[in-house]
A and B are shown apart, each in its own frame.
Chain A
């Protein structure tokens, strides 16, 4: 399977992973090849299973307030905070454009 530069860039943006170099991309291609073996199985008439819990009962909780009120504890994880708010960068930071990425790949 050929993984085009566009698909790579798309994947990197969606999952915020960095395939870093040619070896990384090759590993990805091998992973896709491995998973493709699944297509060899005939699944006609078989309902897909999307959870091993499919026969379990989904537990329903009563509508009571039992958690919360732990602002201090939660904010311990924050690198930066402002008056009990978490601090994040302004909006989403756009990833470098496609051609900038190709340059960095060639470099390694």
Chain B
């Protein structure tokens, strides 16, 4: 059987973390009474006009810089027309011709064969980042044959990040999105919580034989988690391979991922190719961004977005944070990935290190093996840990001073999880786990053991 190559591209919509919407002053908030966060502009009432939110522009520039993009000092807004009940204007304001950022890259890491010790770095090209409006929400009521529309989300600012088809499977797509999520959260440009719809991913998938041109691609939507992203992509790749091997063809269609059944199904309402009739947004002049060189002298600073200033203020990105952790604490690269992957874990680790004499590269074992596995078993976040960094440091100090053995330390930790408020020292005394330091006492115990096991001793002496 001939081999197949799969090609996966992603279109990611990240909701911008801002107080108000992209073009209006209504509030951005998840879960509020229906249609309570809607301005006249959001409802597309006649006579209203878009007014661009500065914070959204800054968020897009930050994100573009973090993804190594060229920032377009002049970008344009366009209208994308289609009819749907949750799009009151009948068009979405987006950036189709000249988006705010282009030609970037994102590096992410994968474990080979699921072994954390073998990590490989991959890169995906970022085609562009554009600012656009979110639509409202439709709730389908099939029993009464109607759709209920809530416009709270209509007009919220989105950054669409387009990733070129440089990925080849579900695992790569998931890893790339996970890294993007961490970057967005570090920047604060988006909270990127998929469960709250702040990060939405559509996958473009096609397959072909090595050396052949790319095959027909399908678009997969309705992916609600990073785990499902990997599943959806892998399912679609398999489906296409099977279809083609059975002599069928792939339709250029949009499919929805059904998480319950673990498969993709054709989406209804997608009849034929859409013609969005893009046209320039007549109510918005071009968006001009400045840098230190082009900064006009006499302009109101509130009206100026300075790319260089934003670049200077960028926080350490996840990749830099990881490198610093490895260097400072002498831990392995894969440890740094786990630390960053869990909210609050890095801080916890650093707090323990600060409060204990144990070397950081020994502490990391206790954090990743003992603390983390316990938290995972009980589905707790680091914040919810019954064992604080102070208590753990206290325990590790006892171990470091050789007052208890490692085995005893694990026993104490098991007790500490109960969260009964006892200190490690109290538990040690309670359970009599102190290491015997007295030489004579140790000799006596050894002698007793030898005396009680004469046969075994003879066998050992004989070799």
Contact = CB atoms under 8 A, between A and B. Distances in A.
A14 B211 CA distance: 39
Interface in A50-108: 50-51, 53-71, 74-75, 77, 82-92, 94
Contacts of A64: 19-20, 25
A17 interface: no
A32 B148 CA distance: 39
A16 interface: yes
Contacts of A61: 20, 25, 51-54
B140 interface: yes
B151 A86 contact: yes
A71 B33 contact: yes
A88 B45 CA distance: 17
A17 to B, nearest CB: 12
A67 to B, nearest CB: 4
Contacts of B303: 57, 59-60
A85 B149 contact: yes
A7 B291 CA distance: 47
Q: How large is the interface on A (under 10, 10 to 19, 20 to 34, 35 or more residues)?
A: 35 or more
A68 B37 contact: yes
B57 interface: yes
Contact of B54 (A16, A63, A74, A92): A63
B39 interface: yes
Given A60-B52, A67-B26, A91-B140, A86 B35 contact: yes
A20 interface: no
Contacts of B39: 67-68, 70
A10 B76 CA distance: 28
Contact of A68 (B36, B145, B277, B284): B36
A56 B83 CA distance: 31
Interface in B9-56: 18-20, 24-27, 33-41, 43, 45, 51-56
B27 A53 contact: no
Contacts of B51: 59, 61
B84 A68 contact: no
B275 interface: yes
How many chain B residues sit at the interface, stated as a range, is 35 or more
A68 B18 CA distance: 15
A58 B146 contact: no
Given A60-B57, A67-B24, A91-B268, A51 B280 contact: yes
Contact of B35 (A51, A71, A90): A71
A24 B36 CA distance: 43
Nearest to B136: A86
B38 A63 contact: no
B85 A88 contact: yes
B25 A54 contact: no
Given A57-B285, A92-B84, A75 B146 contact: no
Contacts of A77: 43, 45
Contacts of A14: 81, 275, 277
Nearest to A52: B282
A9 to B, nearest CB: 11
Given A61-B51, A88-B85, A56 B25 contact: no
B292 to A, nearest CB: 19
Nearest to A75: B35
Contacts of A70: 38-40
Given A63-B54, A86-B149, A74 B85 contact: no
Given A67-B26, A90-B142, A85 B150 contact: yes
B256 interface: no
Contacts of A10: 275
B20 A66 contact: yes
Contact of A63 (B18, B277, B284): B18
B194 interface: no
Nearest to B86: A88
Contacts of A75: 35
Contacts of A60: 52-54, 57, 302-303, 305
6 contacts: A51-B281, A58-B288, A77-B45, A84-B35, A91-B268, A92-B83
Given A51-B282, A61-B52, A63-B18, 8 more contacts: A53-B282, A55-B285, A61-B20, A64-B25, A70-B39, A74-B35, A85-B139, A91-B268
